[in-house]
Amino acid sequence: MITQECRPKLFREVSGQNLPKTVLKAICKSPATSPRTIILEGEYGTGKTTCARIFAKALNCKYKLKDGDACGKCEDCQSDISNSIYYEEYDSSIIGNITDIKELKETFYFNESLGYKVIVLDEAHLITPQAQSALLKLFEESPAGIFFVLCTTNSSKILNTIRSRALTLKFDLLSQKEIEDNLENIAKNYLQIDIDNDIIKLVAERSKGHLRNAHMLLEQYQMLGREEFISLYRSCTELYGMFIRAIICKRSDILSEIIEKLLHYRLSELKSEYELFVLNIIKLFYNENASDDKQMIFIVSYFKHKKNNFIDILNDYRNYDMFNSDIRFTSFMWLLADRLKQLTK
Ligand SMILES: Nc1ncnc2c1ncn2[C@@H]1O[C@H](COP(=O)(O)OP(=O)(O)O)[C@@H](O)[C@H]1O
Ligand SMILES: [Mg+2]
Ligand SMILES: [Zn+2]
C-alpha cells in the first residue's frame, strides 16, 4: 500500500506543513521545557498522524540534527515507531468514555527514565465531554515523560479548558504544487516507475489537498493502467470538451454518460472561470433567450457563425475574465437533461 509504504519517517520528508513541523522540531530540541499537550488540527490525510509518529522518533533519537529532526540512521530511527514503547495511538472509541482519572493514569503510565513517550488520541473531538474533563485533570498533572497529542479534524468540539492549555498546530490542505512534487518523488524513489505529467496533474487535481487521497489514487492508477484510469478520472475540463463534441454530434447516448460523470464532481470542483464559461455557453446553446448579458449575446452570435469551431472558440476565451456569474450546477444539469430530450428528436 502506497499510503503505508510512503509514509514519511522524518520531518524533512513531510510535504508542506512548515509551521507544525518547525514547532515540533523545536520541541524535540528542548522537550523538558515545552508544553506537554499538543493539538494537531486539520483535514484528514494532511499529515497529522504522520507528524505525531515522527515527533516520537525525533524526541528519542540520540543523534538528532541541529534543527531537531531525527537522524534517520540510528537503531531507534530505523525501527518501527508504531510498535515501540515511545509511541501509542488510542482511538477515541477506546478512551472516549473513560471518566475515571485513576483508570486514565494506569492506562497511560510510562517510565520516564526510558525517554519520552508520545500518546496520540486520534479523532479527539469524538471523546465525550465527561471523558475530556477527566483527561484535562490528567493533562494538568503532566505525567513525567509523556506528550499527549490530540489529533482532530474539528477542534471546536474539544473543551475550551483543554484548548486554552494546549499548544494548537494547524495542518493545511496541501497545494496542487506540493502534491505534484510529492507524487513525482514517490513515483521516482519508491515505486520506480515513470508516470506522465498529465496523470500527476490529474491525480493532484482530484485529491483536493488531501495527500492520502492522492496516494490512494496513485495506487488505483497502478492497478488500472493509464487508459482505464483516465476514463474514470478525466479532469472536468476534458469532460466538458467531450460534452460539447457530443452535443455537436448529437450523440445523446454519450452525453448522458458524460453528464453522469460530471455529476460526480462537487460544485466547488467546477468553479473555475473556464468551466463557468462553458456552462454559460451551453446554457445559451439550448436557450437563446436565457441571458440579456451583452457579452454573452455577442459570443453566442459568434458561436452560431462558427458552429463547427465551437471548441476552438471556447479555447480562445478560456483566459478571459468575463464570466463570473454563479450558475447552480445541479439545476443547470436538470435543465440540460430536459433539453436532451429535444436533442434526440
Ligand atoms: N504532509 C504530508 N507529507 C507526506 N505524506 C503525507 C502528508 N500528509 C499525508 N501523507 C500521506 O498520507 C497518509 C495519511 O496521512 P496521515 O498522517 O495519517 O493523515 P491524517 O492523520 O492527517 O489524517 C500517510 O501515510 C502519508 O503517506
Ligand atoms: Mg490520522
Ligand atoms: Zn536517530
Instruction: Give the pTM.
Output: 0.76
Q: Which three cell numbers stand for residue 67?
A: 534543527
- State which ligand 1 atom lies nearest to the alpha carbon of 52: 17
Mean pLDDT score of the chain, rounded to an integer? 79
Taking the centre of ligand 1 as the mean of its atom positions, its distance from the CA of residue 17, in whole angstroms, is 11
CA distance 126 to 95: 10
Atom of ligand 1 lying closest to residue 42 CA: 22
- Closest Cα to atom 12, ligand 1: which residue? 212
The CA radius of gyration of the chain, in Å to the nearest whole number, is 26
Tell me, yes or no, whether 149 and 12 share the same domain.
yes
**Predicted confidence band of residue 206 (pLDDT cuts 50, 70, 90):** confident
User: What SS3 string covers the chain?
Assistant: CHHHHCCCCCHHHCCCCHHHHHHHHHHHHCHHHCCCEEEEEECCCCCHHHHHHHHHHHHHCCCCCCCCCCCCCCHHHHCCHHHCCCEEEEEHHHHCCCCCHHHHHHHCCCCHHHCCEEEEEECHHHCCHHHHHHHHHHHHHCCCCEEEEEEECCHHHCCHHHHHHCEEEEECCCCHHHHHHHHHHHHHHHHCCCCCHHHHHHHHHHHCCCHHHHHHHHHHHHHHCHHHHHHHHCCHHHHHHHHHHHHHCCCHHHHHHHHHHHCCCCHHHHCCHHHHHHHHHHHHHHCHHHCCCHHHHHHHHHHHHCHHHHHHHHHHHCCCCCCCCCCCHHHHHHHHHHHHHHHHC
CA–CA distance, 42 with 67 (Å, rounded to integer): 24
Cβ of residue 35 lying under 6 Å from some atom of ligand 1: no
Tell me: do 14 and 153 sit in the same domain.
yes
Looking at the structure, do residues 166 and 184 belong to the same domain, yes or no? Answer: no
- pLDDT exceeding 70 applies to what percent of the chain? 70
> Do 196 and 255 fall into the same domain?
no
Shared domain for 284 and 307, answered yes or no, is: yes
Of 171, 187, 205, the last residue of a domain is 171
Q: Are residues 127 and 189 in the same domain?
A: no
Residue with CA at minimum distance from ligand 1 atom 13: 212
Average pLDDT, stretch 271-294? 52
CA distances from residue 128 to 43, 124, 133 in whole angstroms, order as listed: 21, 9, 9
* 57-71, 204-218, 253-267, range with the lowest pLDDT: 253-267
Greatest CA separation for the chain: 82
Same domain (yes/no): 330, 192: no
Closest atom of ligand 1 relative to the 212 alpha carbon: 12
| Rounded Cα–Cα distance for residues 327 and 331 (Å) | 8
CA of residue 9 to ligand 3 center, whole Å: 11
Q: For residue range 34-87, list pLDDT tens digits in order.
A: 999 999 999 999 999 999 999 999 999 999 999 999 999 999 999 999 889 999
Same domain, 26 and 156: yes
Q: Which residue has the CA at smallest separation from atom 16 of ligand 1?
A: 47
9 with 63, same domain: the answer is: yes
Write out pLDDT tens, residues 72-90: 999 999 999 988 999 999 9
Q: How many domains does the chain have?
A: 3
For residue 88, the one-letter residue type is E
Domain with 59 in it = 2-171
**Residue 113: which CATH number?**
3.40.50.300
Q: What is the pLDDT of residues 315-336, one digit of tens each?
A: 443 333 333 333 334 444 444 4
* Ligand 2 centroid, distance to 156 Cα (angstroms): 17
Same domain, 145 and 251: no
Is the CB of residue 153 below 6 angstroms from any atom belonging to ligand 1?
no
146 Cα–ligand 3 center, Å = 19
The minimum-distance atom of ligand 1 relative to the CA of 53 is 17
Residue after which a domain boundary falls, among 147, 171, 195: 171
Q: Which of 192, 213, 233 is the C-terminal boundary of a domain? A: 233
